[in-house]
Copies of this chain bind each other. A is one copy, B any other.
Amino acid sequence: MPQNTQITLATRPQGMPKTTDFGLQKNDVPALTDGQVLIEVEIVSLDPAIRGWMNAGTTYIPGIEIGAVIRAFAAGKVLASRHSNYASGEYVTGLLGAQKYAISDGQGLTKVDVSAGSLSYHLGILGMPGMTAYFGLLEKAKPAAGETVFVSGAAGIVGTTVGQIAKIKGCKVVGTAGSDEKCRFLTEKMGFDLAINYKTQDIDAVLKAQCPGKINVFFDNVGGDQLDIALNNLALGARVVICGAISQYNNTSALQGPKNYMKIVTARGIITGIIVFDYLEHYPRAVADIGGWLDAGLITTQEDFYDGLENFPQTLLKLYNGDNFGKLLLRI
């Protein structure tokens, strides 16, 4: 069996992770037993959720154990199989981890048709982030044509997918991002009606001026002040879908709660959330829809590739300091 390289959790980060919170270990890949599959990982996905998994305790899934491989979505090719559902040469995605080789019992693996979009797309717009956008928007927020959909952290893979699906559904789409370049990307390439630079613009003032009918749907990837501003601009019957809170993940103090939460009462709205794993059995429908929109040129995606497993820690950090542009991916 080949030698594996793995990125592990050395210490739990306090606040923003440091490269020293990660370890790199090499070891022999163990022999397969019945029911197992050996996968050669080709691309690792860097997603905001990883920061939460590095904490102690259980949220919707348990935290990563100290010394264990960093949990991450990844895509790869089956090298060997003693599992009846998988054969050598097939491509799969799943929580394969930040490592060169993964052994799986098939649990949570998804076979990937690389003819329907490149392998990397299955970690982005056709993978977990795309599924999050699709089900969070369409099943949780249920936007109607003519409604205004506001997306925080809109230049990420989830945000761009939410915005483009909302446009397909006939909505007015407004998003926030952290640079003028990202804002131009949203309006010029992703079809957003309006993009607001949260670092230089007064989001509340722009929303009041540009969205006088207020916000019908708020899809929140950011939390913190942007959540409070959105709550302050809700239309009657608004749906707030909490997807993430990337502004808060590296807090060393308590998470900042939305001080405007009572606005959901006067808006007669709801605050709810999206856990994409709940929709696992419905992924094929979403993949078919998004795949169709890709083929028809109604939706697009941008990828931000880096190389080398040893660069995993510093690449992950780009997510939290706003450096990345599009879906962040690491080629092994």
Q: Which of B245, B258, B265 sits near A258, CB closer than 8 Å? A: B258
Q: Do residues B275 and A261 form an inter-chain contact, with CB atoms below 8 A?
A: no
Contact assessment for B261 and A271 in the assembled complex, using a CB-CB cutoff below 8 Å: yes
Residues of B within 8 A of A274 (CB): 265
Within the oligomer, what is the number of copies of this chain? 2
Name the residue of chain B whose CB is nearest to the CB of A254: B259
* Residues on B with beta carbons closer than 8 Å to the beta carbon of A264: 242, 271-273
Q: Are B268 and A270 in contact (CB under 8 A)?
A: no
* Contact A273 B265, beta carbon cutoff 8 Å: yes
Flag if A242 contacts B256 (CB, 8 Å): no
Is A261 in contact with B265, judged by CB distance below 8 angstroms? no
Q: Which of B254, B262, B272 contacts A273 (CB 8 A)?
A: B262
Main secondary structure of the interface of A (DSSP, over half): loop
Q: How far is the CB of A219 from chain B (nearest CB, A)?
A: 13
A-B contact pairs, 26 of them (CB 8 A): A60-B265, A60-B266, A223-B262, A242-B264, A242-B265, A245-B262, A255-B261, A255-B262, A256-B257, A256-B259, A257-B257, A257-B260, A258-B258, A261-B271, A264-B271, A264-B272, A265-B273, A265-B274, A266-B275, A268-B273, A268-B278, A269-B273, A270-B271, A270-B272, A271-B271, A271-B272
Complex CA–CA separation, A273 to B265 (angstroms): 4
Q: How far is the CA of A138 from the CA of B160 in the complex (A)?
A: 38
Of the residues B228, B258, B275, contact of A268 by C-beta under 8 Å: B275
Interface centre among A242, A258, A271, A272 (most CB of B within 10 A): A271
CB–CB A273/B266 < 8 A = yes
User: Does A59 belong to the interface (CB within 8 Å)?
Assistant: yes
Return A152 CB to nearest CB of chain B, in Å.
14
Interface residues of A in 208-236 (CB under 8 A from B): 223, 228
The reply to whether A258 and B256 contact each other, CB–CB distance below 8 Å, is no
* Minimum distance in angstroms from A225 CB to a CB of chain B: 11
Please give the distance in Å from A168's CB to the nearest CB on chain B: 25
Distance (Å) between the CB of A240 and the closest chain B CB?
8
Encoded as 1 (CB less than 8 Å from any B CB) or 0, chain A from 142 to 180 comes to 000000000000000000000000000000000000000
